[in-house]
Structure 1
Amino acid sequence: MGEYRTGTAGSADGTVIGYRTLGSGPAVLLVHGGMKAAQHLMELARVLSDGFTVHVPDRRGRGPSGAHGADFGVRREVEDLQALAAATGATRIFGLSSGALVTLRTALETPSLDRIALYEPPLSVGGSAPVGWVPRYEREIAAGKLSAALVTSLKGLGTEPVFGRVPRFLLVPFLTVGARLQRGRADGDVSIPDLVPTLGYDMRVIREMADTAPDYAGLKTDVLLLEGAKSPVYLHQAVDALSAVLPRSRRVTFPGLGHEGPEDEGDPRSVGAALRDFFADPA
């Protein structure tokens, strides 16, 4: 953990949100997506850290951050990002997946944020985002079948093509072993078994923000829309919808990337280069 500093911000409802910090320069927030944590954006943070002070929060329910709470919804996530922006002085923010949805809604309500970058927000357009798998996932979570719930979500979301091609009866035991091996990590990262149950809360965000693209027609902030060419169609439909309504946006498509593009296992250098140019641009 010596490579980064840690900090906390207090959200409006009293929930503590923890974050990692590295680098120096103008402050930037990097907001992870569903079933992920701060650890998954650390390579991207390193790419940006020579020109920016990069803050990478763990969203609610993960690591040092507090629980989601009984009244969790988009409002709570917006309050969390507003608290983080106030605590760090960040005016630039990047969000991935469900983190991009929350970032988008926060930008609408937070004039101090003047550079917004979004990678594939799963904004449902006329039912485009797949949610039919969620009831099965919820039953498996309730029964303590975390590996089965993980497989259900991976196949349901379609963001990991390899998992979509492997039969469930092979995936479940494989992921069970992997989760057991990772559970003992002591480096500040959040384990897979702890991350799987958080996805249900991200699906609440997706359902709550469905068909809200027209809301952003009045957003005057500069927005960079990012996508991977290999990602599922519904994610491109979301970017299409936002591109059509946002008055000050531009779009970048990465030919060889999928939904995991900004993450450590994707290509954070390519995504980071685009973010560096966008966040440094004074225009």
Structure 2
Amino acid sequence: MNHVTSKDGTLIAYERVGRGPAVILVGGGLDDGSENAPLATELASRFTVFNYARRGRGASADTLPYAVQREIEDIAALIAEAAGPAHLFGVSSGGALVLEAAAAGLTIDKIAVYEVPYMMEEAVQERFGQYVDQLGVALREGRRGDAIALFMRLAGSSDDDIAAARNSPLWSGLAVLAPTLAYDAACLGDGRPPAARLARITQPTLVATGAVPDPHTGGLQPGFFDEAADAIAATIPKAERLIIDGQAHVADPVALSSVLERFLSR
């Protein structure tokens, strides 16, 4: 495990594998970098892959108060470590962070995002605002389990799914990451695609979704991720929209690496 020092002095942990052009992988909610580890292995034959733990996760440190700008500075530190420019790939809320980093003007080559959970329906945006308020209360009161349950319910999990998760051996690990749910929420702003900022992105950008409903997000309205992806692609000048057959919200690393290799190598 390696570390870079972000602008505010926070140590950010990352693993580096492979050789070739640099690709930085940015994880989503309740992920400490573990979810992207198989993808990093798949991409390592063609790229130098930086798979990092976002601040407050895994072996990365944290500095309060949190701000999205600090996470953008973390990515900037990784780009500097890679002797940039570098490609960026972000999944779910990590995709929103990647888009914010690009809009902020970081030295980025190409961008790819997968199933960014921006919200197109007003009712869903209202639910998201309520979630943010309730999440803040739960975290301030130290109710990390309730914070995770709120997130799962927002993502469409049923009460049975949440009860099963609470009884799972994975629950304690999720509880450690619970405070970072507020960070993911901050990356999504008010939930709507930030059109004015997205329009600043000049890099070639792949905006991808899967074609298979995910059982863990089954409570979301049909086409939730596709509508968001269409809105992103319509706003970024050099965006390319892609639906990956056979994939759900957590995509198979082999299938995903094949798509990314083709796009990033063009």
* TM-score above 0.5, yes or no: yes
Which residue is 2:152 aligned to?
154
- The CA distance in 2 between the partners of 1:210 and 1:274, in whole Å, is 27
Alignment pair present for 1:78 and 2:63: no
1:36 corresponds to which letter in structure 2?
D
2:132 corresponds to which letter in structure 1?
V
- C-alpha offsets along residues 198-256 of structure 1, whole Å, 9 cap, x if unaligned? 11221122126744123222322100111123264332222111111111111111233
Which residue is 1:197 aligned to?
179
Distance 1:240 1:137, change over 3 A: same
Which residue is 1:242 aligned to?
232
Which residue is 1:7 aligned to?
2
Alignment pair present for 1:33 and 2:28: yes
8 A Cα contact 1:20 1:38, kept in partner: no
Deviation at 1:81, TM superposition (A): 0.6
Pairwise CA RMSD? 2.3
1:94 corresponds to which letter in structure 2?
F
Q: Please list, as runs of the form range in 1=range in 2, the aligned pairs for 1:160-179 lying within 5 A after superposition.
A: 163-164=157-158, 166-167=159-160, 171-172=162-163, 174-179=164-169
Deviation at 1:36, TM superposition (A): 0.9
Alignment pair present for 1:58 and 2:53: yes
Deviation at 1:125, TM superposition (A): 4.1
1:177 corresponds to which letter in structure 2?
N
Which residue is 2:217 aligned to?
none
Deviation at 1:105, TM superposition (A): 1.4
Match of 2:259 among 274, 277, 282: 274
TM-score by length of 1: 0.81
- The CA distance in 1 between the partners of 2:191 and 2:63, in whole Å, is 18
1:156 corresponds to which letter in structure 2?
L
Deviation at 1:111, TM superposition (A): 5.2
Segments of 5+ residues of structure 2 without an aligned counterpart are: 215-219
1:39 is paired with a residue of what secondary structure? Answer: coil
1:105 is paired with a residue of what secondary structure? Answer: helix
- The CA distance in 1 between the partners of 2:95 and 2:12, in whole Å, is 17
Which residue is 1:264 aligned to?
none
- The CA distance in 1 between the partners of 2:167 and 2:199, in whole Å, is 47
Which residue is 2:198 aligned to?
216
Which residue is 2:133 aligned to?
135
Match of 2:247 among 252, 257, 282: 257
2:112 corresponds to which letter in structure 1?
A
Which residue is 1:121 aligned to?
116
- The CA distance in 2 between the partners of 1:205 and 1:26, in whole Å, is 27
8 A Cα contact 1:120 1:227, kept in partner: yes
Q: Percent identity?
A: 30
8 A Cα contact 2:148 2:175, kept in partner: no
Where do 4+ consecutive residues of structure 1 move more than 6 Å? none
Which residue is 2:103 aligned to?
108
8 A Cα contact 2:76 2:106, kept in partner: no
- The CA distance in 2 between the partners of 1:237 and 1:67, in whole Å, is 34
- The CA distance in 2 between the partners of 1:148 and 1:209, in whole Å, is 21
Distance 1:111 1:155, change over 3 A: closer
- C-alpha offsets along residues 126-154 of structure 1, whole Å, 9 cap, x if unaligned? 64444133333444434444333322211
Deviation at 1:107, TM superposition (A): 1.3
8 A Cα contact 1:125 1:210, kept in partner: yes
